[in-house]
């Protein structure tokens, strides 16, 4: 915690940061950092679209995994995944934001097209 009573949350791979008060959800922290993590359920632990990963590997700076979050994530919480709408900031934290599945599909398609074009020349 710094002198203003807030913690610093760093989002990877962008490196964007936000200073937030203890108890702020990781989802709200991401928005303060200027990221737009897509959601459908409005933060009710229902859509699973806000999955992020604890980059510290030891849940540093994050609240304990709640029962409903553990249930929704299945075994993924053991790999460090959290629901950004449920995980609360309790200290300085480092969070990995997975690539949006739609963006990933478009990126892969563009890479394939580029490879095909390169092989024609
Ligand atoms: S916003 Fe839907 S599960 Fe987190």
Cα(54) to centroid(ligand 1), Å: 16
63-100 pLDDT, tens digit each: 999 999 999 999 899 999 999 999 999 999 999 999 87
21-61 pLDDT, tens digit each: 999 999 999 999 999 898 999 999 999 999 999 999 888 99
Nearest atom, ligand 1, residue 48 CA: 3
Ligand 1 in reach of 26 Cβ (< 6 A): no
pLDDT at 120 over 80: no
The H-or-E segment that residue 54 falls in is strand 51-54
Q: pTM for this structure?
A: 0.84
Ligand 1 in reach of 6 Cβ (< 6 A): no
Cα(101) to centroid(ligand 1), Å: 15
Ligand 1 in reach of 41 Cβ (< 6 A): yes
Question: Could you tell me the two tokens for 106?
Answer: 């478009």
Architecture of domain 7-120: Roll (3.10)
* Angstrom distance (rounded) from CA 85 to CA 45: 7
- How many CB atoms are located within 10 Å of the residue 22 CB? 14
């Amino acid at each position: 915690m710094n002198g203003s009573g807030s913690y610093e949350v760093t989002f990877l791979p962008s490196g964007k940061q936000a200073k937030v008060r203890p108890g702020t959800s990781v989802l709200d922290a991401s928005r303060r950092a200027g990221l737009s993590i897509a959601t459908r359920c409005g933060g009710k632990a229902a859509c699973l679209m806000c999955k992020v990963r604890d980059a510290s590997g030891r849940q540093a700076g994050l609240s304990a995994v709640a029962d409903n979050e553990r249930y929704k994530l299945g075994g993924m919480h053991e790999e460090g995944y959290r629901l950004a709408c449920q995980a609360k900031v309790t200290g300085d934290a480092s969070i990995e934001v997975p690539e949006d599945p739609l963006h990933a599909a478009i990126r892969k398609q563009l890479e394939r097209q580029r490879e095909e074009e390169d092989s024609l020349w």
